[in-house]
Amino acid sequence: MSVTSPDATEGASPTDTRQLLLEAATFVFAEKGFREATIREICQRAGANVAAVNYHFRDKEGLYEAVLTTCRNDHRNPENHLSMDSTVPPAVRLEAYVRWMFRRVLALDREFPLGQILNREMIEPTPALSRIVEVHIRPEARWLASLMRDLLGPSFSREELSRATMSVVGQILFYKHCSSVIHFLDETLMPRRDDFEAHVRHITEFTLAATAGLRARREAESSWTPTAFDSNSPEPFFKSPKVD
């Protein structure tokens, strides 16, 4: 028994319909989150009928998983590539990472909606969160921890590197998840789409000063002796829970 594809429009191929659904769903999930997004609205944006979602993705959950996979293109942002280039000095990599993270977390780049989807997962987690952590967040956290190791030196433990990593990210996430409080405290401190470089410079300089101070203090301790990082020891953020 053959199954006929429910085309988005007359003459549309199944591949075209699938892509239209993915594009529409990406922005609906980013704007409304998984729970508030509806198949009907997604299909209306895509110009497809509701049966097309069942045909191509099985259900809403399958469509969401497909969107998350597609959104990995978010990591092609040039700023992110610069920050991950090990030949670039650590201070330059840090600034590039902070800038890229600011744009993603604050949804300053509408063409990269993964940031909005990840933000919603942080406050409204779905069953997909564990996979999101393994695919998107943990690799990034490990990379950032390696940058912290470059800045802090070899004497800091895995736990210390993990905490330093979370401190950097926390400075950025604060502007997203505490935006309402910031508006009451001093709304001029909120980063704007056309003006957030001052925030990037502040977080970069603050982090560089902190890591330099911590490194100098550790090296000045009489009990400290430099040791090479053991490549066989657990990496920061090494624990990976089972993902169904």
Q: Is 196 helix (H, G, I), strand (E, B) or coil?
A: coil
207-222 per-position pLDDT tens digit: 999 999 999 999 888 5
Q: Which residue, chain included where needed, has tokens 């980013």?
A: 30
Phi, psi of 239 (to 5 degrees): -65, 125
Using CA atoms, how far residue 183 sits from 109, 171, 179, 186, 194, in Å, is: 22, 17, 6, 5, 18
Question: What is the distance between the alpha carbons of residues 129 and 111, in angstroms, rounded to a whole number?
Answer: 22
Q: Which residue, chain included where needed, has tokens 């300053």?
A: 108
**How many CB atoms within 10 Å of residue 204?**
20
Domains of the chain plus CATH, in order, are 14-71 (1.10.10.60), 77-220 (1.10.357)
The alpha-helical segments, DSSP class H, found in 187-244 are 197-220
Query: Considering only CA atoms, which of 186, 160, 164 is closest in space to residue 175?
Result: 186
Using CA atoms, how far residue 19 sits from 62, 161, 201, in Å, is: 14, 41, 39
Average pLDDT over all residues of the chain: 82
Mean of pLDDT values over 164-187: 92
22-52 per-position pLDDT tens digit: 999 998 998 899 999 999 999 999 999 999 9
188-206 per-position pLDDT tens digit: 888 877 778 999 999 999 9
